[in-house]
Chains A and B, each alone.
Chain A
């Protein structure tokens, strides 16, 4: 038995048969087709991690808020701390504020991730600096549940400057946008509160997209591609 297989069996063994069945029933991902922006279910997520290295660091908590039918449904909130037994105390604790003891009390990662994917359902993910969240989540799902993350991620850090060039924030961070729109953050660097404020930013961004005549996911994606090309040519000029 290879080291990988042994590890695979170990991981699978932490799931009950019922949980394995739930894992099998997880909905398929949706693509960027002609779904209307006003109807599409978006899950705006944020993760707190042990660090910024997507190869090594681990997810500590996930917070997520649903944007659907053009509004945030306050009844659909997701918030979970992942159980991390041997979490080494490192400087990131100063940012996310999750103490090793709190991490040790969390939900076991396989169950937490299964619940999250189940809860998210057929959605498009939105996040600020989405590629980071996408990689962290993909690695966690691969390691813990041996599944491949196929969901589409849209990056608010791209959509916002694309739709609000006049804000002149460019590659600025979430805090810059929060300040620009005067949003109120309940607790910065808590996954749930960051997801909430990202979702409020998403409402603003999606409203702006509609006002510019962008009605479907595919159109939004096209605009993004065109914008990225423009950014690249600007960078080379």
Chain B
């Protein structure tokens, strides 16, 4: 009897436990999780298990055409690729349940990446012939092999939206294009149509707006029921006059491939209820607020308007709950973290502006030209629901001597606003970074002096301050003073290389929570056991590095993503690198938002600490890769500033 025969006989007494065990292990990871039993057992039975001690080379370009498919069973593999343009290596890491080298195997060529065991590692090794057979017979495996990691990202998104839709119901997506939302062709007329004829046409067709177009269907203006109300209120009696005298010229337009989200944003920003939809220059439709609302529960525009017109602080407070619901709904509809933080920031801005107006209505407006400044995450437009106040006041005065008196007039108002914001849920700043603090209620000139001091004497305190105050923008009041302050800031940082260096050191202070031997570095004891801080450890490295690079290269934007974009345009950061940083930043932020949603659903206090083991393997893997991008960014900062 042959050995195989004996093996088969032995196999009858018990289905081989180690094969079963290895299959169970692989089932924890995609794509193996979705493969059928017979395909998976085919794979496992044809594998050999190899051990590589730390530092050992597993696969290298000189080995020639790749002959095996590898799955990491235990340990960590580092892929290193020499990039011709830079002297830095481009590296990536492969850990338990992940595979390599797909591209080389499919391309029937040698790998371009050297694969090293970053720690003691066991790999399952599948011969190419078996890989090819699986590729031919198992769709799940083929999809995975062809699309690689990008298919994993798709799965994450699908998964997130699926849970969301289950949670809320409904089928509307913020990504729906305007072309899909417009129900019928627009009601239009020529500029010479009489007011009476235009209104008659609107009435007959049951529409709230009339688009005025030229002979080539280019939109010239819009006339809405609101305009009609105004015309009647103004006492216009000549109903035969041409519509072009009464229309709102140059209506706001979006291309038909823009998304519902874009439309909702535009309506909120501009306080408009109708958007012309164009293809090229030609008008193809009109989208009304109601078109958006009839399809969605995301009543963003309504909410923004309600906030802007809230009659009292109590009314405003009630609307804050709606923001929470809106965010939940947006996450549910698959909105990205950029969209969500953008919306939160915008609604918070409206809330702040309305709070200021209400406070002034109550206390009386001070006779001083002032601007309400926000700093930190609010300044970067990166707020989540979990937020506290960081604000200040910039005012104008004719002479320096005048400043103290003006400040005295502003401080009571500032105090009231800070208190009211606290009532709304923007908790008071523990560090007293608030407009009611006399040191933060300054004239434009005093702000410039303060910033100059912060840059010239780089104490740890001033550096910490830089990470808050230098991410600034205005939320209420005239903007010219703030813009001058920003230009002043940029010029001073650019000229002070010592300060840049200190900022760079500061940007390396928060290390991403990745260890050599375990996936994530988590707190070892206490209430925070097994958790890591998504904000401080995950986002801060990106935020700090982006601030440093932006301030040193004349970039006035305050948001982290906008800073990366501007840095790419200036050639400071490679566009691919920036893309990777942005994706990573967004993923961490999204994870954080989802965490907050979960916490508020469970009635727990909001926190940024997450147990990575609570994530599914896919999210965990992407989170780990995101942290790795933060490490890369820090490495490039260290290189640039020779730290």
Contact of A187 with B17 in the complex, beta carbons under 8 Å: yes
CA distance A135 to B19 in the complex (A): 29
CA distance A190 to B20 in the complex (A): 13
Contact with B along A98-110 (1 / 0, CB 8 A): 0000000011000
Task: Give the top 9 A-B pairs by smallest Cβ distance, nearest first.
Answer: A186-B21, A203-B51, A72-B49, A71-B48, A192-B17, A119-B6, A196-B18, A71-B50, A74-B47
B162 to chain A minimum Cβ distance, whole angstroms, is 31
Contact of B17 with A75 in the complex, beta carbons under 8 Å: no
Contact with A along B42-85 (1 / 0, CB 8 A): 00111111111100000000000000000000100000000000
How many residue pairs, one in A and one in B, have C-beta atoms under 8 Å apart?
97
| Partner of A181 from B47, B49, B120 at Cβ < 8 Å | B120
- Tally of chain A residues near chain B (CB < 8 A): 39
CA distance A106 to B18 in the complex (A): 19
Contact with A along B7-35 (1 / 0, CB 8 A): 10111011011110110110000000000
- Tell me the residues in window 212-233 of chain A with beta carbons closer than 8 Å to chain B beta carbons: none
Q: When A22-B1, A74-B22, A115-B10 are in contact, do A186 and B48 touch as well, CB less than 8 Å?
A: no
B122 within 8 A of partner (CB): yes
- Tell me the residues in window 142-191 of chain A with beta carbons closer than 8 Å to chain B beta carbons: 181-184, 186-187, 190
Contact with A along B257-289 (1 / 0, CB 8 A): 000000000000000000000000000000000
10 pairs, CB–CB < 8 Å, chain A vs chain B: A74-B44, A77-B7, A78-B7, A116-B10, A118-B1, A118-B3, A184-B25, A186-B21, A187-B17, A207-B52
CA distance A129 to B3 in the complex (A): 27
Contact of A74 with B3 in the complex, beta carbons under 8 Å: no
B589 within 8 A of partner (CB): no
Which range holds the interface residue count of chain B?
Answer: 20 to 34
A112 to chain B minimum Cβ distance, whole angstroms, is 8
B125 within 8 A of partner (CB): yes
| Partner of A200 from B7, B10, B13, B49 at Cβ < 8 Å | B49
Contacts of A190 in B (CB 8 A): 17
Q: When A74-B18, A74-B49 are in contact, do A80 and B13 touch as well, CB less than 8 Å?
A: yes
Contacts of A193 in B (CB 8 A): 17-18, 21
- Tell me the residues in window 97-114 of chain B with beta carbons closer than 8 Å to chain A beta carbons: none
Contacts of B49 in A (CB 8 A): 71-72, 74, 200, 203
Contacts of A208 in B (CB 8 A): 53
- Tell me the residues in window 448-497 of chain B with beta carbons closer than 8 Å to chain A beta carbons: none
- Tell me the residues in window 102-152 of chain B with beta carbons closer than 8 Å to chain A beta carbons: 120, 122, 124-125
Contact of A74 with B19 in the complex, beta carbons under 8 Å: yes
CA distance A73 to B3 in the complex (A): 14
User: Which partner residue on chain B sits nearest A182 by CB separation?
Assistant: B74
Q: When A115-B6, A207-B51 are in contact, do A186 and B13 touch as well, CB less than 8 Å?
A: no
Contact of B50 with A79 in the complex, beta carbons under 8 Å: no
Contact of B16 with A192 in the complex, beta carbons under 8 Å: yes
Q: When A71-B49, A203-B51 are in contact, do A115 and B16 touch as well, CB less than 8 Å?
A: no
CA distance A190 to B18 in the complex (A): 10
Q: When A183-B74, A203-B51 are in contact, do A196 and B6 touch as well, CB less than 8 Å?
A: no
B residues with CB within 8 A of A: 1, 3, 6-7, 9-11, 13-14, 16-19, 21-22, 24-25, 44-53, 74, 120, 122, 124-125
| Partner of B16 from A72, A79, A116 at Cβ < 8 Å | A79
B57 to chain A minimum Cβ distance, whole angstroms, is 13
- In this complex, the member of A115, A187, A208 whose beta carbon has the largest number of chain B beta carbons within 10 angstroms is A115
A30 within 8 A of partner (CB): no
A residues with CB within 8 A of B: 22, 63, 65, 70-81, 106-107, 115-116, 118-119, 121, 181-184, 186-187, 190, 192-193, 195-196, 200, 203-204, 207-208, 211
CA distance A195 to B44 in the complex (A): 17
Contact of A79 with B10 in the complex, beta carbons under 8 Å: yes
Contacts of A77 in B (CB 8 A): 7, 11, 16, 18-19
Contacts of B19 in A (CB 8 A): 74, 77
Contacts of B51 in A (CB 8 A): 71, 200, 203-204, 207
CA distance A9 to B383 in the complex (A): 87
Contacts of A181 in B (CB 8 A): 120
Q: When A106-B13, A182-B74, A211-B53 are in contact, do A65 and B18 touch as well, CB less than 8 Å?
A: yes
Q: When A70-B50, A79-B13 are in contact, do A192 and B18 touch as well, CB less than 8 Å?
A: yes
CA distance A80 to B7 in the complex (A): 10
A63-B17, A119-B6, A196-B21 known, 4 other contacts, Cβ within 8 Å: A74-B47, A79-B10, A192-B18, A204-B51
Contacts of A192 in B (CB 8 A): 14, 16-18
User: Which partner residue on chain B sits nearest A69 by CB separation?
Assistant: B48
Contacts of A195 in B (CB 8 A): 18
- In this complex, the member of B7, B46, B48, B74 whose beta carbon has the largest number of chain A beta carbons within 10 angstroms is B48
CA distance A81 to B13 in the complex (A): 7
CA distance A78 to B49 in the complex (A): 16
Contacts of A121 in B (CB 8 A): 3
Contacts of A183 in B (CB 8 A): 74
CA distance A115 to B48 in the complex (A): 23
Q: When A78-B7, A107-B13 are in contact, do A184 and B74 touch as well, CB less than 8 Å?
A: yes
Contact of B45 with A200 in the complex, beta carbons under 8 Å: no
User: Which partner residue on chain A sits nearest B16 by CB separation?
Assistant: A77
A164 to chain B minimum Cβ distance, whole angstroms, is 11
CA distance A118 to B14 in the complex (A): 18
User: Which partner residue on chain A sits nearest B96 by CB separation?
Assistant: A184
User: Which partner residue on chain B sits nearest A193 by CB separation?
Assistant: B17
Contact of A118 with B6 in the complex, beta carbons under 8 Å: yes
